[in-house]
Each structure stands twice: as structure tokens, then as C-alpha cells.
Amino acid sequence: MIGNKKTLLKERLRERLLHDLAGDPGILILAYPYARTWHPIAKAAVQGSWALVNQEEAATLYIHFPFCRRKCAFCDFLAYYGRPKAEIDAYLRLVRDEMHLMAEVSGHVAIEAVQFGGGTPSLLSPEQVSSLMAGIASGFRLGRGAEVSMEVFPDAEVTTEQLAGWRKAGVNRLSFGIQTFDDQLKHALGRTDWASDNLKLVRQATELGWDNLNIDLMCGVPNQNMESWSATLQLTVDLRPAHVCVFPVSVRHPGTDLFDERGSLPPPNLTRQMYDMAVSCLKEAGYGRTTRHDFVRPGFEYRYERMIAELAPLVGLGANSISYSRDCIYRNYSDLPRYASAIRSGELPLRAGHMFPDDEKPHNWAVRNIEYLRLSGRNFRASFGMSLQEAFGPQIELLGEVGLASMVNGDLVLSEDGVYFTSSVKRLLFHPSAWERFDSMKPEEFVIERETLAP
């Protein structure tokens, strides 16, 4: 009977995996289980989970800044476009108030990595960033050598004064969302920056003393070809950033401009060729690959991403941000009026969350840790008292059969194909209940509210 159940599970997993592999390889799984399957969560549950966090454990902090000048064709993150300065100022006041609330709830945890994400955080002035950093330092135990990273839209609006000011405010890592150095493709993606802007800005940052810089690139966008991609890679390598992130394009969500133009995407095999070209080019230039998308020069590490993969506590601030404490994951309201109403009432803006039962914790661990392309059998046994094969026998067999991963000295290690399809491997490691919740969802639950915030 046990053998029959194992065979049935394996066949169900095979069916889902093969369906996944024929889908969108660019999808990023940023939370497990899928956030859209979470349910309303009580403040007491969140407080109880934070009370279980070891106060000596290093934590991360994320601030979501959901404002942009305009919408990029590929963007499916929460962002508001063309909003007045008064609304942005009101939002920042709310974030600072939420910061005080979360400092108390989390027990003033020790922060070793900070991420300003969006949206377009580079719309923030150095004075605004300095104010937020002061709030972090006063509410939490901010490590002296903490990584502080900010995403930058690399257009001509960014000045050397801003670059210097952000550094003085405490930011020590900049991530430039360049995507491509092909101006024709930029225009088609709804961008307002040009390759000349990008090159000038990265060089200015380097001259000002920034050494921990990242460049985001996107392969597989409409009308992109190998010649254009090769030129983008060469320009990137010439700039010698500390990090390069390479993302195969994703068109998973209706509502983005790129979703409506998905018929003009290059064929999947061409997008894969572009990714493989990037792997070869960056390795030849001395970069090591840490995740599917992150390539790093020796001596540098993207600490925030590493800590997230290793299940470090995460304090999420701002609309639609996600937090993770001990055995609990939850998110804030995405629509600004509800977010504001909760904060102004002195309450956490809890939209939904998920408490991990004991049988789901190994799956959470595996889904998060496989981001770094392998699962440590030793670490898994230390955490759960069993081997990877005992916990994921059918999954491991199936991954081996289709050539996505193999066991090496007790560790599950992704193959080159497995790296490219990391998200498919992650979904294979989901707990069955996570799929049951997701498959039972109604389409309307995918809608994200985008209301106006009254100052």
C-alpha cells in the first residue's frame, strides 16, 4: 500500500512538473506558499511568532516604496504612477510609524541587511533616505557593517549629488535596473532611460567610491536577438559591477503591457540561449553564479538574498511588503487607504498570512534553500532529524529522471537545466496542501488594489 501511494504521488508530481517546464521559466517565487493562498491573520499570532525569534539572530529589513514616474511594460510589482509629492510624503510618514510598531513587535531585532525596493526607491531624496535609516537605527539594532541596498532607476534624473547623498545616508549597495543597453528595446518596454544614461551613471557611481554595484539585465524580451544581447553583456562586463542579475522575462500576470504582447516574445529556446550566453560570458569575466540569476565577483555577496534563502527573520515595511518570523509569514495591505487606516489606528496593516504546521516546515526550508542551487543534507538532518531522501524521496527520484538534479555526497544539487528551471524545482518541493490551496483559488483573487492615498 505504501509503495502504491508513493507511485501515485510521483505520477502526480511528474504531471505537474512537465506542465511547469512547458510554461514560463522566468517566474520568480518570492514567497512560500503563494501569498494569494494566505488567509486573514490575527495580530496575536504575529506577535507570538516574533516572540519565538532568537534576539541574537541576524534579521533582514525590507521597505517597499510603491511609486514610479511611469510603468514599465514588464512590471507586475505593486507600483503607483505619476502620484503627487504630498502623497509620497504621507506614505513615508506612515512607513516611519509602522517602523515604530514593528520594532516593538519584533523585539528590536538585530538587522544585518536592509533593502529599499519598489517601485522606484531612487525617487527618494538623500534626506528622506537618511530619515528612514535613522528610524531603523533607533528602532532596531542595526549592525555596524549591515548591507544597505537600494534599487535605482538609471535615467538622467539621477544626479551625482543624489549618489553621494545616498552613500552618506548609509546606503552601501546600489542595484541599477538597466535591463538592456539596446535603446530600441528600452523604448518598446516603456522606459525613459537610455544606454548613455546608464553608462554615465554607473561610471559616476564608481568614481564616487561605490564598489558594491549591481546591474539587472533581462533576456527574452520582445524583438530581442542574440546580437543585441551580446552587446548588452559586453557593455556590462566592461563596467565591472560587483553583481550582475540576469532574469529571463516573465509574463505571468494579465494587466502588464508585456502580457498583452507575449505573442512577440522570442521562442523559449532562444531565451534559453541568451541565458546560457550570459552564464558563459560572466563566468569568463570572473563572476561566480550563486543563484539562477545572481552572478558575483569574488569578495562580494548579496547578503539580503542569502539571508532570505536561509530563512532569516524578515521585517517588511510598507504597502504589500512581506514579513517572516518564526514559523509565520504574512503580508501588508496592498491598497494604500487600508494600509494607511491601520497605521493611523496604531495597528499593524495585516492583510493575510500563513502559520507553518510541523509537516510543512521541511517544505518551506527546501523551497527557500534551493534558491542557492543545492540542498545540504547535513543541514536538513540537523533541522528535521531525517534525510532529504526520507522527506522528498519521490521528488528527488523524479528530478533525477528528468535531469534537473542529483544527489551528490548527501546533498541535492541542481543540474544546468535545474538551475534554469529553479522555480519549477521549487514548486515540485511544495507541500501538497499548498497546491490544494492554490488550485482552489478563484481568478478574482489575483486582483491587486491600486487606490489613492489621501495625504
Say how many Å lie between the first and final Cα of the chain, rounded. Answer: 63
Selection from 93, 75, 144 nearest residue 448 by Cα:
75
In contact, 258 and 188? CB cutoff 8 Å: no
Backbone φ and ψ for 282, nearest 5 degrees, come out as: -70, -35
Q: What would the pLDDT profile of 372-384 be if each residue is shown by its tens digit?
A: 999 999 999 999 9
Sign of torsion, CA 300 303 304 309? Answer: positive
- Give the alpha-carbon dihedral of 122, 126, 81, 258, to 10 degrees: 10
Selection from 109, 107, 112 nearest residue 143 by Cα:
112
Instruction: Give pTM, 2 decimals.
Output: 0.94
pLDDT of residue 149 exceeding 80, the answer is yes
Q: What would the pLDDT profile of 228-243 be if each residue is shown by its tens digit?
A: 999 999 999 999 999 9
Match 566592461 to its residue by C-alpha cell: 238
What does the pLDDT read at residue 385? Answer: 98
pLDDT of residue 171 exceeding 60, the answer is yes
Q: What would the pLDDT profile of 395-444 be if each residue is shown by its tens digit?
A: 999 999 999 999 999 999 999 999 999 999 999 999 999 988 877 765 44
- Give the alpha-carbon dihedral of 198, 269, 407, 358, to 10 degrees: 70
Look up residue 369 and give its amino acid.
Answer: N
What does the pLDDT read at residue 435? Answer: 86
3-state class (DSSP) for residue 32: coil
In contact, 311 and 356? CB cutoff 8 Å: no
Identify the structural domains of the chain with CATH numbers, from first to last. 2-30+361-438 (1.10.10.920), 38-308 (3.80.30.20)
Work out the angle at residue 191's Cα, subtended by the Cα atoms of residues 187 and 192, and round it to the nearest 5 degrees.
100
Kindly report whether the peptide bond that precedes residue 33 is cis, defined as omega within 30 degrees of 0: yes
Please give the residue that has the higher pLDDT: either 47 or 78.
47
Q: How confident is the model at residue 73 (pLDDT cuts 50, 70, 90)?
A: low
